[in-house]
Amino acid sequence: MSSQAPLNVLIVASEIYPLAKTGGLADATAALASALAHLGVNSQLVMPGYESAQDQARRLVVTAELPPRAGIGEGRLLSGLMPDSDVPVHLVDVPELYRDGGGLYVHADGSDRLNNPQRFAVLSHAVCDLAMGRLGHAASDIVHANDWHTGLVPLLLQQQRRNHRPGSVFTVHNMAFQGLCPLDQLPGLDIHVEGEAYAGIEYFGQASFLKSGLVFADWLTTVSPRYAEEICTPAFGFGLDGVIAARGDRLSGILNGIDCSIWSPERSPWLPAHYSAGNLEGKARCKAEIQRELGLDMAPDAPLMIFIGRLTWQKMADVLLEALPRLLDAEPDRQIVVLGEGDRNLELGYRELAGQYPGRLAIDVGYSEARAHRLHGGGDILLHGSRFEPCGLTQLYAMHFGTIPIVRPVGGLADTVIDATPAHLADDTATGFYFDNADAPGLLEAVDRAIALYRQPARWQRLQRAAMASNFSWQASAEQYLALYRRLAETYLAD
């Protein structure tokens, strides 16, 4: 095929913003599809037909009946457009699997959905049929699958005839989530693996959807160059480092970007005032509003620290919880806001602290897109310790909003934040603060350094301007994906 013909790229994920979101995966898949469309790619999205997705997608119509697979009787493919762009989206509509209330991966009471293997096997079969042109839509040139939920897609595609199937890309957004199920469940999911294929999915006596994606995809990517190196090592590979290292010649790290039409201090509809690097005045109003909204002392000069994210071990939410009293006791004007949900025990721990520092600590156990924007707008410092971080979008949003991140230099955090060393401060390249040890003393020390600089407003503003000037647009990353797709398409479509 000609290297310049428009490519049909099908991007599949379990969550896509704003149709459904629990984390960065949703933001990344939506933004990539739209950045690719701007590059002339025919990018289409496909995901489960959750209630929230059906409510928000535009012009949905039934375009196919799904063949019975993986134990489900009936299902339909709904096709329409994304709410805020003309990117086509397909929803795999099987009400018993995706529309029974509760969260994307857990029931309403927080317990795991035991039928997750079936839910995502059904999705994967539908994607394979769609991409092969069996559901009445044009066949895809490339299928881009994301995370364990879609790890069976590369396997199913590999079982099609070579040169008559799309090329497959599998992107790891997080190695910690692997999608395990008993091996003897596979036949019931219409997954048939023998010989070498069996070894490609078997993981310590179970089946791993993540491993399937890693082994069978034509190309692997992950969401930052540093994480691409890290996952080849035992410290970050979650038992699959050997599998990935063996495919090291087919692995690239492509940094996530941010969608600046959504995450913008100049335009975000959720901010009470707007601002830019050239004029930061509106940020002070955002700070006053968030202080009022959350019952914090109305102190314009008080350093306001924010945490936004999953309350989990990965995000060091346990360490932050332990450090909170010392963080606040160190100086009488420090303020902290925590917005997050996650592990039930950590949620409980944070809830218990609420009320203990009136006017200085606000705990919001929950999920709110609007409040996340307002916190980025009003905050001074983002607390973003992570034990590991594939890319991390939160620190990118923070920097774009002039909120200075404190991070551990792992994965995408190391690739995107420049430490405020004396040299980097002197040449105005610093954009945040690093700390090495994943413990409370490490975090406390970095906070002390950050607040010392915060109390020198002229220097702090230079840091803010450098952070806001960082360019994390999707354009460059989308171009890298496009180059990769073209290379693969030439291999798989060359007859």
CA dist 108 → 18, 112, 113, 341 (Å): 20, 10, 10, 14
Per-residue mark of binding to ligand ADP, 6-25 (x: CB under 6 A): -----------------xxx
| 415 within 8 A of 226, measured Cβ to Cβ | yes
- Which of 369, 428, 436, 448 is the binder for ligand ADP (CB under 6 A)? 369
Q: Which of residues 303 and 411 has its CB atom nearest to ligand ADP in the complex?
A: 411
Of the candidates 26, 51, 55, 54, the one whose C-alpha atom is nearest the C-alpha of residue 101 is 51
Of the candidates 399, 428, 427, the one whose C-alpha atom is nearest the C-alpha of residue 415 is 399
The Cα 124–Cα 128 span in angstroms is 6
- Which of 7, 87, 305, 308 is the binder for ligand ADP (CB under 6 A)? 308
Binding of residue 394 to ligand ADP (CB under 6 A):
yes
Nearest approach in angstroms of CB 313 to ligand ADP is 12
The Cα 288–Cα 300 span in angstroms is 7
Binding of residue 309 to ligand ADP (CB under 6 A):
yes
| 214 within 8 A of 170, measured Cβ to Cβ | yes
Query: Residue 129 has which token pair?
Result: 């049929």
Q: Which of residues 401 and 492 has its CB atom nearest to ligand ADP in the complex?
A: 401
* 456: Cβ contacts below 8 Å, ≥ 6 apart: none
- Which of 179, 265, 340, 432 is the binder for ligand ADP (CB under 6 A)? 340
Per-residue mark of binding to ligand ADP, 22-61 (x: CB under 6 A): -xxx-x----------------------------------
Binding of residue 168 to ligand ADP (CB under 6 A):
no
| Rounded-to-5 percentages of helix, strand, coil across the chain | 40, 20, 40
Nearest approach in angstroms of CB 120 to ligand ADP is 18
The Cα 322–Cα 444 span in angstroms is 11
CB neighbours of residue 58 within 10 Å:
12
Nearest approach in angstroms of CB 50 to ligand ADP is 17
- Which of 16, 20, 132, 372 is the binder for ligand ADP (CB under 6 A)? 372
The Cα 495–Cα 491 span in angstroms is 9
SS3 state of residue 195: coil
* 329: Cβ contacts below 8 Å, ≥ 6 apart: none
Nearest approach in angstroms of CB 176 to ligand ADP is 9
Q: Which of residues 27 and 141 has its CB atom nearest to ligand ADP in the complex?
A: 27
Binding of residue 341 to ligand ADP (CB under 6 A):
yes
Q: Which stretch binds ligand ADP (CB under 6 A): 60-68, 69-77, 131-139, 307-315?
A: 307-315
Binding of residue 215 to ligand ADP (CB under 6 A):
no
CA–chain centroid gap for 267, Å, is 22
Q: Which of residues 350 and 434 has its CB atom nearest to ligand ADP in the complex?
A: 350
Q: Which of residues 108 and 494 has its CB atom nearest to ligand ADP in the complex?
A: 108
Q: Which of residues 104 and 215 has its CB atom nearest to ligand ADP in the complex?
A: 104
- Which of 119, 125, 287, 310 is the binder for ligand ADP (CB under 6 A)? 310
CB neighbours of residue 188 within 10 Å:
13
**Chain residue at closest Cβ approach to ligand ADP:** 24
SS3 state of residue 464: helix
Footprint of ligand ADP on this chain (CB under 6 A)?
Answer: 23-25, 27, 308-310, 339-341, 367-369, 372, 391-394
